[in-house]
Structure 1
Amino acid sequence: MSKYLKIILILAAITILGGGFWLYKSYNNIKNEAIDDLKEDNEKFIQEQASVLIDQSVWQKTTQEQARVFENFFDKIQSSRLFRIKIYDREPKIIWSNLTEIIGEKAADNDEVKEALDGETAFEFKSLSKAERTSERQYTEFTETYVPILDSQKNVLGVMEIYQTFNQTKKDINNAFIKNGAKIIVELAAGFIVSILVIKMILKKI
């Protein structure tokens, strides 16, 4: 095997390995950015809708009154993507959900609820294998966003946890990755060709 061919093979291996790592990093960056955007959008949407549709006093009212208000709230915000909501008080305990059998469950061990009660929106990505309940297993991938609900003085009244399908976000991520990946491959190919030509010129002079 000639020296030129050996160098080309080494260069090709480096290009493939480097390109694979570059593509991997690119996908992760796109995915993380999309998830951050989704988390931020959910926080803004839920807090804005809650401020319009829910009076602050409802958090101190009876279970029946809360159920009426929260059910109306969910009817207004639910969509093909947003399929479940859990609403927690500061105990924390689930005081309402469209999955009625879980109302009353305590969530003292839920770290994401605790984080939201401290005023920070929390986010979880879940797959089929991590689904908590049978009713969630119809979704291969979904997200859970825990949004703190604030009063006019920015005190946390409670937490709303929304479940959303991940299908559309995943499509957006894949489309962005295909576009960016194509650019990366073109740049790698161009760099590889230029490197070959430079190496060939150098070897001719030796």
Structure 2
Amino acid sequence: MYKRLTLPQFQLKEIKVDTCTQSFHIGNYSCLQAVFELERNIGYHLVQSYLPTSLIVVVSWVSFWLDVDAIPSRVTLGVTTLLTVCSESTSFRDNMPVLSYVEALDIWMGSCTAFVFLALLEFTVVSHIARHHRRFLFWVQRTGVPSPPTTTAALARPAGSDSPPSTAPATPSSKLPPLRLTTREPPSPTTETPASMWTLPHW
């Protein structure tokens, strides 16, 4: 056989030649039988089928590192990779002969399609959980979260004064000096107390 004669997808391993006898309606005739043993070249399908589909699946996993709020980017990436894998599977099936059993290439393409679809499904689940989490936080803010209590410190006033004591928000003792009050001798009951004799505390 011519040594330079090759096939693009197969490699010729062995040729078996044998004689045989066939029976026809007009009599028995001798025949010559040749058996060609072929081996499929893995390099062809590795470059044309397995490597491109593997890269498409890896590209679909990029959506795992995108922000959950980047909905247009993640949807576009997931749908594009899914349609690309489906089109590749269809083109490979058109070039292969129609067989009644499942081939290894069919299992590989089905696995790639499942991985890409699961990546798109993961985005749907994560987006649903994030949306419910934002709704829960909004509900907590609307219903009211108990704020830390605020205490007031009353200012001292002299005995017998009709003016109500003024209040001021309490501040931590580590930032302000202690309260110091100045006392004076009480005035006589017959004289009116001027307003300038009352002293407010000094902070």
TM-score (norm 1): 0.25
TM-score (norm 2): 0.25
> Comparing both chains, which one has the higher relative contact order based on Cα–Cα distances under 8 Å and sequence gaps of 6 or more?
1
Larger C-alpha radius of gyration, 1 or 2? 2
